[in-house]
Amino acid sequence: MDCNEVKSKWKSYMNGECREKDEKEIEEHLQGCSQCELLLNQDIEKQEENHLHVGDRLNDQERLLDDIPIKKQKKWLRKAKWKNRLMNALTIFMLFIGVSIISGILTAFFFGFGTDEGRGEKAIQVIRTATQMTMPNVYLAGGGMNTNFYYTMDIDFQIQKQLGREHKSIGQLHGKMFFNLLNVNREWTDGQYDVKLYFMHPQFVENQPETEQTFYQETLQDTWNTLDLLPKGTVSELAITFDQLYDIDDVYALLHDYDLDIVWYAIDTGTEGKGDTYHSPYLSANSDIWGFHEHAIFDFSRDGGSIRIRGDGHKRAEAFKTGLQFLAENKKLVERYIWYFNNETSIEDRYNYVEENGVKTYGVVVTGPTKELLTLQENNSIIFATLGEVDFWNWYDRPAGGTIYN
């Protein structure tokens, strides 16, 4: 470097802020330039004078800076530069801590942490509702949200289903929000979720040629045969399709004499009976299906209070409509979560259809002792059935229980 280049970087050099390469070149220049070395001595003297007590005279024991060896001067200079660097780093760190604390407070307010009407709670309710309304016998439990810094929020839930009398975990749901943007990932217990529960809409079956209807009857018979082969000491889940649309209370009458639990209701929203070349006739979690889980009816029950296990069909119907309306009002969040959502018919259209035609079910998911489910083959109202999971006998009430998640 020449003198002009050194002077242009002099302030950064004295403050310890210039690059290591520039610092090395400046020091090499100082060794051969008496004029710049004099400037260095003058600046060092000024720095030392700033550390002396203001207003006090120098006593006789204090030596002038010019009497100090150049090696010690360079040592002081290096210490001063490192001190400046540490102070700058500390200032930046403290500023980062302060900004993070403020952002954490603002983030909590933004997502409405601790309130039922905040953005965070609304996102959670969308995820919970959309899950239990589009996945037969699947719902979320044992989780919540946690706000972070810089307008981000984490959402974590256990994904569960009912099999017999047990509520078993089948995976974990992890969500993250950045402002109003939602991103959700699901980690299934076995790395994947095998969809085994399928329905068929009775109107679609009715319009099929006789050969197709014969095929559906053979599939139904295969389900009964499988249940017959399973041992007595097991419980199973079964998706059954009825011969027509029924009110929910009518379903209770159809299944009144069977020792089983109804855990999920498939609801007609106006599009399910239109299977064609582009629409599969089979309706389930990986297609356009809508319904509600028995475990989640209290989320949108307007009447409140208790709901009978079998009965109060009007309360369940009202809860389904309220949930559907809620999803219609938060369509953007729903579309970020349900990737296979059918945009040909909006949620608003589905809600209007149900509001006009009533809440009608064409099938339900039931669970109970395997041999008890086998007796459903005598019910002429069932035209199609598929078998889901099977587990060891648990058809009894435990006096105590619980789940540890971590």
Which residue, 90, 361, 393, 395, is CA-closest to 239?
Answer: 361
DSSP-derived secondary structure letter, 296: G
CB atoms within 10 A of CB 212: 13
> What's at 255, amino acid-wise?
L
pLDDT for 368 beyond 90: yes
Question: How does 161-171 read in b/e, with b if 16+ C-beta sit within 10 Å?
Answer: bbbbebbbebb
Q: Residue 399: what pLDDT? A: 77
Give me the long-range contacts of 306-309 (CB less than 8 A, separation at least 24).
309/261
The domain limits of the chain are 3-109, 116-406
Q: Residue 405: what pLDDT? A: 63
What's the rounded mean pLDDT across residues 64-70? 53
| pLDDT band for position 221 (cuts 50, 70, 90) | very high
What's the rounded mean pLDDT across residues 177-202? 92
Measure the CA–CA gap between 224 and 218, rounded to whole angstroms.
10
| pLDDT band for position 335 (cuts 50, 70, 90) | confident
In this predicted model, which residue has the larger pLDDT, 339 or 124?
124
Which residue, 395, 275, 288, 394, is CA-closest to 341?
Answer: 288
Measure the CA–CA gap between 39 and 354, rounded to whole angstroms.
87
